[in-house]
Structures are given as C-alpha cells and as structure tokens.
C-alpha cells in the first residue's frame, strides 16, 4: 500500500498556485498503473516519492529526472511539504518520508521493520533498497544505460571486497600481536640456550681466574727471588769496584797510561759480556734437556768476574759455549718440522681471521657460534704453547751463545792478549794496580737502579698475592710446572693474555645477560596475551586470502571499472586487449540475461547476446535484431525489463513515467515481472505512469 499527501505552493510570477492531490487517490496499491492528462499530478507524485527516497543523490537515475526533483525543492519558487508511507503486503516492512517545512530542504526518512522504527540514511538506503525511476525515452540508445547499473554494482562489490581486505589485514595484525605458542616456545628455547651459555662462560671464566692466580703467584715469586739476588749481586760488585778505585787513587802515578786505558776497556767489555752471560745462565736452564745437567753445573761454576784479576778466561768457557751451540742446533733441527708448531701457526691464523666476524650470529657446523669456536681454538693453542715457548727459548739461547762467543773472542784479542804482553815486558807485578773506571761504576749503578725497580714491582705483586712460599707451589706443581721453561717476558705476556681473555669473557657474559633480560621481557609480554583463534592460519590468511582479496579488489575497482567506462564512452570497440574482450563478451551475455525476452514485429524472442558496441541483439535462434530496427514500445519494454532484472537481493521500488509508446502487449511483461518480484518479496512498490485523456488508476496486484 502507498499512502501519500503533499502540498506544493508555486510562485509563477503572475500568480501563486497551490497543488494538492485531487485527481489521483491518496491510497494506491503497491503495483499500480496510472493514466491521466497533463498536469493531473502523475509526475509530481513520482517526483515526490523519489525525493523522499534519496532520488536526487542516486546516480542511476537519469539526469533530467534528478533536475526535475531539484527544481521541486527550489524554495525560491516552490514551497513543498509532503509525507508518505510505502508498506509491503504483510505490513512487516514500511518506509516513511516526511518534509515538514516548506522553506527547508530537510527530509526525514524512516524504516519500520518488524515493528522497529529507525531513521534510514542514504548509505543504508542504498545498501538495502534499489530505487528504479526512469522515463524510457529513446530506449534503444538507453539499453546501454543498463551498463551504468552494472558499473554501480561493480563499485558496490569493489567496496565490499575492500572492506574484506581491510578486515583480513586487521585480523593479521591481531594474530601478530596475539600470544603465539610457537613463538613463545621458540623464545623459551632461546632463553634456555642463553642461560646455558652464560653458565658455561662463567665456569670457564672462573677456571681462567684460577689459572691466572697460579701463574701470577709463580711469576711474581720467581721474579722477586731472581731480582732480589741480582740486586744484591750488583750491589756487592759496586762495593768491590769502589774499594779498588780508592786504592787506585793512592797509586795513580805508578800506572802506565796505555795499560790503564786497556784495563778500562777490558772492564767495560767484560761488563757487557757478563750481562749476556748472566742472561744465558738464566735461560739455558729452560732451553737445555735434563741430560745436560753436568754441563750446566760446569757453566755455573764459571765466574767471568775473575777474568779481571787473572787476565784470562775460564778454560771451560769457550768449550761449553761450543758444546751448547752444538746441542741446541741439533734440537732446533729436530723441531724444524714439529707438527705442533705448525698447528699453533694455524690456530693463530684462524683466530686472527675469525676475530673480524665474531659478532655475527651465525651458527657453525656442530652448533657453535664463532666466539665459541675462537675459544676452542685458544684452548688448543694453549695446550700446544709450551712446545713453542721451548722452541723460542732455544732460538734465543743460540743467538745469545753466538753473541757471547764473539764478545769473548773480541775481549781475548783486543784486551787480554795485549794486557798479558804488557805485564810481562814493561811493568813489575807489584806496581800493577787495577783501576776501575767511573764509567763502569756508573753503569753498574744504573743496572742496580733498573734491577731495583723490577725488584720493587715484583715484590709488591708478590705481597699482593699473599707472599706465596715454595711450599705453596709444591701443592699444585702440575698447574705451574709448564711455565718453568718460560722467560720473564713470556710469563708476563701470558699473564696479560689471560687477563684479556677474562675481560673478554666478562664482556661476553654481560652481553648475554642483556639478551637474557630482553628475552625474559618478551616472554613475559607474550605470556600475558590471549591466543588468537586463527593463530595457526596466519599463512593461509596472508598468502592466500589476502592476496586474492587484493587482486579481486584491483580488478573490480580498476580493470573492470575502466573497461565498462570505455563502453559507456563508446570507446570499447577500439580495444584489442584480450582481457577486455573477454570482459565485454561476458557483459553482453549478462545483459541478454537481464533483458531475457524482446518483442519484435509481434513475435517474442529469447535474447542470447546484446552487443552494445555494434548495437545488435542476437536471439537464441541466432536472429540478429539491430537496435535501430526495433519498435519504440518494444525496446522500451526490453529496457524496463533490463532495469527490473537486478541481481542483488535489495528491495526494489520502481517508478516508470511516460511509457507512452508501449502498447498493452509490450507492458504486460513489465507487470508480470513486477508481480513476480512482489511474490518473491523483493518488491516494495511499482508504479507505471502513462499519458491519457482521463485519469485512470488500475491496480496490477495479483492479475
């Protein structure tokens, strides 16, 4: 049922006219045919109903009709008020529209569904209702206008797919932000790994600290004892030399000048040789095998200081130097191809290379990090190190032995031989008084000061380490025994390396603790979240559904939109694009389904294809009917049927005006279609208006 009322007051310049429904009843059936003369109010009624159903904003409505609606609402000369209600057969659904104020454009539209009244906005109206309002003028040309409906449908579907795409993205974000048991378990595993690494590193660091403690105690105690002895020895020598010097002062005039110079030269040369001799004495002990113990005893009995009194070297000095050179050269030759030395070279080289990559978080075969691997190599290097140290000490000892032999030969040839000759030939034994030069005493004083510095250093360190005694070392001999062959420099180098290594371990532990803290926070954050029901389907959503929705949206909003626009602008035929051709072919078949049947020269044909490019209809019997050859009434009928054959389930409200060229046989398919839609509960109202001499209102419901 359609119930309506309106009042229109129009300023026509020379007079003000008032229009109210007077010829057409204010209550109409839902499907109705109205015939009447001009100005009986037929078109005004349709325009008012369309205005109340957002017709002005509906782009599917032919523009001249929208202009008419606009002019009705132009309050400069039209003062319009209206209200109407359109109700379905069982009264379960009705639409109300009301324009209360003649000077305002405000219209309020309500929907009453199952007794529930709600204001209905334009957007919601468009989603739920399909207002078809048309005057089928030039219907063959306007068959193409059916494409506008398809275009609008495509836009609606494109928007719907866009909404789907946005929702998929939201769900993906929700899943990413939700509690993921797999990620949680992975992070817990990582945390366990880090905790194990921290413990391992801490354990290794403690072992290194123990090693360092033993090494420091051993080194400082050994060096302290050595420098204490050296310092005292040099002190004694200085005292002795000073005594000789004071005696010398008393007898200075008795000493031959040349002889005196030779003595001074000898004393300084011997001083230098003695430094090397002492160094060798300290070193040979570490370089020689135990079988050489007897020779070392002979060596230790040699006193180079005595040479200054008797003007000849100990007879064992040169033979022992030569003996040691032979022995050490032999050992060196044996070590030349020592596998352990080559291994150490390899480890050092690998460590140096790997140091540049130690921050990389890659795992090496065997599940180790680069830092772990470097630590393993260092351990291997340390195991083999005593052999390298021994080899180094042999080389250094050989070098010193050669230097000492040269010094001895030089002293013998340049000083001792000449002094002995002078003593025999020109000076009586009593008058030979040995003079010590100031220079030698200065050198000894300097040596004493240097030794004292070292003594003080090692004494301080030894005290800091708790003054370890030889008894302390006896307890854990296996831990320091390997260092007995090390020189002072090698020991200090080893201490520094161990300290560096401990610092590195500390840094490593700190770094791991930072990672541990971050992971713990992450795990805590993840544990507090809820699991998402689609957690396991993130891949499906991302790789399949989202991709499909994006592609589909692009097709609807871009590709198909462009294709149909080209058709509407008559540019479709210019295309050779296969995708576009496929689209047009499908659209022409679809249009045929919408029109379904056409009447042509009193016959009815089932339509198979409507080619809007070539303006041809192809029937099922393969008859070709050109648009231009169709009767106006017949093409009007085809066009209106096309408008009514919609594909969505929105409720249809159809108003057709000026169907003047259609005879009853052309109109009958339209009534039939309207009744079918009504039975399917898809029609809310259908009004068909035609010009006639008298007002006739005929209900078409149920006929």
Partner 1 sequence: MSMENSIKDLFDTLLDNETEKKIMRQILNNKKPDEIIKSFLDKNIEKDRND
Site string for partner 1, 516-535 (x = CB under 8 A): ------------------x-
Residues 6+ apart with CB under 8 A from 503: none
φ, ψ at 683 (rounded to 5°): -120, 135
Closest CA to 344 of 368, 393, 378, 376: 378
Q: Considering the rule CB under 8 A, would residue 552 count as an interface residue with partner 1?
A: yes
Q: Considering the rule CB under 8 A, would residue 167 count as an interface residue with partner 1?
A: yes
Residue 669 CB, nearest approach to partner 1 (Å)? 15
Residue 571 CB, nearest approach to partner 1 (Å)? 20
Q: Considering the rule CB under 8 A, would residue 322 count as an interface residue with partner 1?
A: no
Residue 537 CB, nearest approach to partner 1 (Å)? 5
Distance CA 664, CA 676 (A): 18
Q: Which lies closer to partner 1 via its Cβ, residue 457 or residue 534?
A: 534
H or E segment at 619? strand 616-619
The 3-class SS string of 23-39 reads CCCCEECCEEEEEECCC
Residue 180 CB, nearest approach to partner 1 (Å)? 16
Q: Considering the rule CB under 8 A, would residue 589 count as an interface residue with partner 1?
A: yes
Q: Considering the rule CB under 8 A, would residue 537 count as an interface residue with partner 1?
A: yes
Among 594, 599, 643, 651, binds partner 1 (CB under 8 A): 594
Q: Considering the rule CB under 8 A, would residue 540 count as an interface residue with partner 1?
A: yes
Give me the DSSP letters along 303-326. -GGGHHHHSS--TTHHHHHHHHHH
Residue 165 CB, nearest approach to partner 1 (Å)? 9
Q: What is the total residue count of the chain?
A: 703
222-260: b or e for each residue (b if 16 or more CB lie within 10 Å)?
Answer: bbbebbeebbeebeebbeebeebbeebeeeeeebeeebb
Q: Which lies closer to partner 1 via its Cβ, residue 9 or residue 545?
A: 545
Among 147, 155, 164, 298, binds partner 1 (CB under 8 A): 164
307-318: b or e for each residue (b if 16 or more CB lie within 10 Å)?
Answer: bbeebebbeebe
Q: Considering the rule CB under 8 A, would residue 582 count as an interface residue with partner 1?
A: yes
Residue 544 CB, nearest approach to partner 1 (Å)? 6
CA atoms within 13 A on the CB side of 352: 6
Q: Considering the rule CB under 8 A, would residue 549 count as an interface residue with partner 1?
A: yes
Closest CA to 73 of 53, 100, 103: 103
* Cα-trace Rg, the chain: 58
**Residue 530 DSSP label:** P
Residue 49 CB, nearest approach to partner 1 (Å)? 24
Total Cβ atoms within 10 A of residue 273: 21
Q: Considering the rule CB under 8 A, would residue 129 count as an interface residue with partner 1?
A: no
Stretch binding partner 1 (CB under 8 A), from 252-260, 516-524, 589-597, 620-628? 589-597
Q: Which lies closer to partner 1 via its Cβ, residue 2 or residue 549?
A: 549
Total Cβ atoms within 10 A of residue 290: 6
Among 129, 308, 561, 590, binds partner 1 (CB under 8 A): 590
Q: Which lies closer to partner 1 via its Cβ, residue 143 or residue 321?
A: 143
Stretch binding partner 1 (CB under 8 A), from 134-142, 181-189, 444-452, 543-551? 543-551
What distance, in Å, lies between the first and last C-alpha atoms of the chain? 16
Q: Considering the rule CB under 8 A, would residue 263 count as an interface residue with partner 1?
A: no
Residue 95 CB, nearest approach to partner 1 (Å)? 20
Site string for partner 1, 325-344 (x = CB under 8 A): --------------------
Site string for partner 1, 635-654 (x = CB under 8 A): ----------xxxxx-----
Q: Considering the rule CB under 8 A, would residue 169 count as an interface residue with partner 1?
A: no
Residue 64 CB, nearest approach to partner 1 (Å)? 27
Q: Considering the rule CB under 8 A, would residue 565 count as an interface residue with partner 1?
A: no
Q: Considering the rule CB under 8 A, would residue 160 count as an interface residue with partner 1?
A: yes
Question: Per the structure block, which two tokens stand in for 228?
Answer: 């204490």
Distance CA 401, CA 280 (A): 7
Q: Considering the rule CB under 8 A, would residue 171 count as an interface residue with partner 1?
A: yes
Q: Considering the rule CB under 8 A, would residue 147 count as an interface residue with partner 1?
A: no
Q: Which lies closer to partner 1 via its Cβ, residue 414 or residue 554?
A: 554
Classified as helix, coil or strand, 17 is strand
Q: Considering the rule CB under 8 A, would residue 37 count as an interface residue with partner 1?
A: no
**Residue 543 DSSP label:** I
Q: Which lies closer to partner 1 via its Cβ, residue 377 or residue 541?
A: 541
Residue 588 CB, nearest approach to partner 1 (Å)? 11
Residues 6+ apart with CB under 8 A from 547: none
Give the count of residues interacting with partner 1 (CB under 8 A): 36
CA separation, residue 539 to residues 84, 548, 564 (Å): 54, 13, 35
Helices (H) and strands (E) in the chain, counts: 23, 16
Q: Considering the rule CB under 8 A, would residue 212 count as an interface residue with partner 1?
A: no
Residues 6+ apart with CB under 8 A from 641: 594, 595, 596, 597, 669, 670, 673
**Residue 271 DSSP label:** H
Closest CA to 317 of 306, 327, 328, 309: 306
Stretch binding partner 1 (CB under 8 A), from 40-48, 78-86, 159-167, 439-447? 159-167
CA separation, residue 657 to residues 66, 139, 166, 318, 331 (Å): 13, 13, 42, 137, 122
Residue 142 CB, nearest approach to partner 1 (Å)? 19
Long-range contacts: 475-482, Cβ < 8 Å, 24+? 476/214, 479/211, 479/214, 480/214, 480/215, 480/217, 480/218, 482/386
Residue 166 CB, nearest approach to partner 1 (Å)? 8
Q: Which residues bind partner 1 (CB under 8 A)?
A: 153, 157, 160-161, 163-164, 166-168, 171, 534, 536-537, 540-541, 544-545, 548-549, 551-552, 555, 560, 582-583, 586-587, 589-590, 593-594, 645-649
């Amino acid at each position: 049922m359609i119930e309506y009322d309106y009042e229109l007051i129009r300023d026509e310049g020379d007079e003000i006219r008032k229009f109210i429904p007077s010829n057409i009843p204010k209550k109409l059936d839902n499907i109705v045919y109205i015939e009447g003369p001009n100005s009986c109010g037929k078109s005004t009624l349709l325009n008012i109903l369309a205005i109340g159903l957002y017709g002005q904003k509906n782009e599917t409505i032919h523009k001249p009709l929208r202009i008419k609606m606009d002019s009705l609402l132009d309050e400069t000369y039209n003062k319009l008020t209206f209200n109407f209600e359109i109700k379905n057969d069982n009264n379960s659904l009705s639409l109300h529209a009301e324009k209360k104020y003649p000077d305002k454009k405000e219209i309020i539209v309500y929907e009453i569904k199952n007794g529930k009244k709600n204001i209905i906005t334009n957007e919601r109206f468009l989603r739920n209702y399909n207002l078809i309002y048309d005057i089928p003028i030039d219907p063959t040309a306007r068959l193409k206008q059916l494409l506008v409906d398809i275009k609008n449908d495509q836009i609606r579907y494109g928007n719907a797919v866009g909404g789907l795409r946005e929702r998929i993205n939201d769900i993906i974000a929700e899943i990413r932000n939700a509690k993921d048991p797999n990620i949680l378990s992975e992070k817990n595993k990582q945390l366990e790994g880090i905790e194990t690494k921290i413990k391992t590193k801490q354990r290794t660091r403690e072992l290194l600290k123990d090693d360092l403690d033993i090494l420091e105690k051993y080194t400082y105690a050994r060096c302290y004892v050595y420098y204490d002895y050296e310092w005292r020895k040099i002190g004694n020598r200085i005292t002795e030399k000073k005594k000789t010097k004071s005696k010398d002062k008393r007898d200075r005039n008795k000493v031959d000048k040349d002889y005196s110079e030779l003595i001074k030269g000898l004393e300084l040369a011997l001083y230098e040789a003695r430094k090397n001799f002492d160094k060798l004495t300290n070193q040979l002990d570490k370089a020689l095998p135990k079988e050489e113990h007897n020779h070392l005893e002979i060596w230790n009995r040699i006193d180079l200081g005595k040479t200054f009194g008797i003007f000849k070297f100990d007879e064992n000095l040169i033979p022992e130097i030569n003996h040691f050179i032979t022995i050490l050269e032999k050992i060196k030759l044996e070590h030349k191809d020592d596998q352990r030395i080559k291994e150490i070279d390899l480890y050092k080289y690998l460590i140096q290379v790997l140091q540049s990559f130690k921050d990389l978080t890659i795992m090496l075969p065997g599940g180790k990090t680069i830092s772990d691997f470097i630590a393993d190599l260092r351990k291997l290097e340390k195991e083999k190190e005593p052999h390298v140290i021994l080899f180094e000490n042999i080389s250094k000892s050989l070098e010193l032995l050669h230097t000492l032999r040269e010094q001895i030969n030089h002293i013998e040839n340049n000083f001792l031989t000449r002094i002995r000759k002078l003593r025999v030939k020109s000076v009586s034994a009593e008058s030979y008084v040995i003079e010590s030069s100031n220079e030698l005493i200065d050198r000894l004083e300097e040596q004493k000061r240097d030794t004292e510095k070292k003594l003080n250093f090692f004494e301080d360190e030894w005290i800091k380490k708790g003054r370890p005694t030889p008894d302390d070392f006896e307890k854990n001999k296996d831990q320091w025994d390997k260092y007995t062959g090390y020189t002072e420099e090698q020991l200090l180098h080893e201490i520094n390396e161990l300290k560096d290594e401990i610092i590195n371990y500390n840094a490593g532990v700190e770094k791991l603790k930072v990672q541990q803290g971050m992971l713990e926070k992450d795990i805590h954050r993840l544990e507090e979240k809820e699991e998402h029901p689609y957690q396991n389907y993130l891949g499906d959503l991302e790789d399949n559904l989202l991709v499909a929705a994006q592609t589909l949206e692009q097709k609807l909003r871009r590709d198909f939109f462009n294709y149909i626009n080209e058709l509407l602008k008559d540019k479709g035929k210019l295309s050779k694009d296969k995708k576009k051709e496929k689209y047009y072919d499908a659209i022409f078949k679809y249009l045929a389904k919408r029109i379904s049947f056409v009447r042509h020269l009193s016959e009815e044909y089932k339509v198979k294809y409507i080619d809007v490019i070539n303006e041809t209809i192809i029937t099922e019997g393969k008859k070709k009917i050109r648009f231009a050859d169709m009767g106006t009434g017949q093409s009007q009928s085809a066009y209106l049927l096309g408008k009514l054959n919609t594909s969505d389930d929105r409720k249809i409200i159809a108003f057709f005006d000026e169907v003047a060229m259609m005879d009853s046989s052309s109109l009958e398919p339209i009534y039939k279609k309207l009744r079918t839609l009504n039975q399917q509960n898809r029609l809310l109202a259908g009004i068909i208006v035609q010009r006639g001499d008298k007002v006739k209102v005929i209900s078409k419901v149920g006929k």
